[in-house]
Structure 1
Amino acid sequence: MIWLAILALAGLGFLAATRLFGLARSGWTLFGAALLFGLAGYALQGSPGQPAAPGAGPQPIADTGELMVRARREFYDPETMPSRYVVSADAFARQGQYEDAANFLRNAVTENPRDAEAWVALGNVLVEHAEGRLGAAALFAYTRAEELAPDNPAPRYFVGLAMLRQGEFAQGRRMWAEILAEAPADADWRPAIAARLERLDLLLSGGGMTAQPR
């Protein structure tokens, strides 16, 4: 019975994104694929029938906000500054104040709904606020970013990173490998993605996994 509830919630999330939030058809593939990947990962690793237990609490990741900001900026022109809201949000994200950062980024996408980098930044801080989990709101933000700038791989990169952090290693690696395969030879961000994919393969082959956007 609990799986019926989980599938129903996934269906409601998809309907909310497409009907209530007006997600364009071009973004349905990424949104639907990520939902399916999440369900597949939970089916393999989750235990929905087990009683709840207290969590161990977040690990000390004081530098994660700075790493996420730095990794995001790799996909955008360094000569072009983000909007003032994104700059302010980044300052809060670097301090681990993700809820405050999200509030600034909601202002950013309200003021300019076509600001693709603001949508990516919003997805990132929502994931961090959820302690690495890829929720429906973060996934919607990434999907909007991809819809606005389909040639920029930042949304797919960070969706893949979130999957890796959730233990969905095969799916996350596949997304990164696709990004690298499709990357223009002269893309400034290509060497960074290649290096991270190589490091990921080493970690996977060694049986360990600690995905950080270094």
Structure 2
Amino acid sequence: MGWLLILILAAIVLIGLWKLGRFDRAALQVLGAALLVAMAGYAWQGSPGLSGKPVPPPVRKALPDSAFADTREDMLGRFDSASAWLTMAESYQREGDTRGGAEIIQSALKKSPNDPDLWVGLGNALVIHGGGMMTPSAELAFQRAAKIAPEHPGPKFFFGLALAQGGKFDEAERLWRGLLQTAPATVSWRPMVEERLAMLGQARAASAAGMAVPGIQQP
């Protein structure tokens, strides 16, 4: 079939040259040289005798909801455009498509580049895509969110959560304690931070024993 396709292509070019009035000796020489190069390349690299081997699509492993997904609405809200984008990204992550989840949020940021919730979501998505580890790009996303909204508790809380998921308990504790120092005693999200701080002690012990603590070490 490979040789037949080459001959058919040569015939098509010949007909095209004839219709364009370029059917002369020089054109034939160029066509002949090109045909010889194509045939030589095919004879060298082609393997027409091999059977076809279709490549199956990659198998994705379904993932449970992340700690971010479980607490996001309580900290960031649920009735805005950012929430809709983050919900969509989480559906990709749930199916194991962590790259797609991050790309969804990146698309949203092109439309709303100054939305701190989207930057927090991107940081979390990049942590998930990195297998639960804090990458430089994920850290940059959390820092961008904090810069846009320095008084918003979300960037610091979720940055600390991502750090804790990666085993950086001391850094997470420092962030969360600093957050509580500036938080009013009656603010709605204060118990959430206090609960995570209490869980850090459990997480330290569980990490030494090779176990996971829900809400802390779940990527």
The two structures have a TM-score, normalised by structure 2, of 0.61
**What residue identity is the alignment partner of 1:175?**
L
1:36-51 matches, within 5 Å, as none
Identity of aligned residues (%): 29
Instruction: Report what 1:92 is aligned to.
Output: 92
1:10-65 deviations in Å (ceiling 9; x for gaps): xxxxxxxxxxxxxxxxxxxxxxxxxxxxxxxxxxxxxxxxxxxxxxxxxx993243
What's the CA shift for 1:140?
1.3
What's the CA shift for 1:201?
2.4
What's the CA shift for 1:185?
2.1
The secondary structure found in structure 2 opposite 1:82 is: helix
Instruction: Give the Cα–Cα distance (whole angstroms) in 2 for the partners of residues 170 and 79 of structure 1.
Output: 34
Instruction: Give the Cα–Cα distance (whole angstroms) in 2 for the partners of residues 124 and 117 of structure 1.
Output: 11
What is the aligned-residue RMSD (CA, Å)? 2.5
1:1-214 matches, within 5 Å, as 62-65=63-66, 67-80=67-80, 82=82, 84-204=84-204, 210-213=212-215
- Which one has more relative contact order, counting CA pairs under 8 Å at least 6 apart? 1
The secondary structure found in structure 2 opposite 1:210 is: coil
Instruction: Give the Cα–Cα distance (whole angstroms) in 2 for the partners of residues 95 and 61 of structure 1.
Output: 5
Number of aligned residue pairs: give it. Answer: 154
> Is the CA contact (8 Å cut-off) linking 2:203 and 2:213 kept in structure 1?
no
What's the CA shift for 1:176?
1.6
The two structures have a TM-score, normalised by structure 1, of 0.62
Higher alpha-carbon deviation: 117-126 or 89-98? 89-98
> Is the CA contact (8 Å cut-off) linking 1:85 and 1:108 kept in structure 2?
yes
What's the CA shift for 1:115?
1.2
Segments of 5+ residues of structure 2 without an aligned counterpart are: 1-60
1:129-188 deviations in Å (ceiling 9; x for gaps): 001111111111111111111111222222222322333222221112222222222322
**What residue identity is the alignment partner of 1:70?**
D
The secondary structure found in structure 2 opposite 1:74 is: helix
Segments of 5+ residues of structure 1 without an aligned counterpart are: 1-59
When Rg is computed on C-alpha atoms for both structures, the one with the higher figure is 2
> Is the CA contact (8 Å cut-off) linking 1:64 and 1:212 kept in structure 2?
no
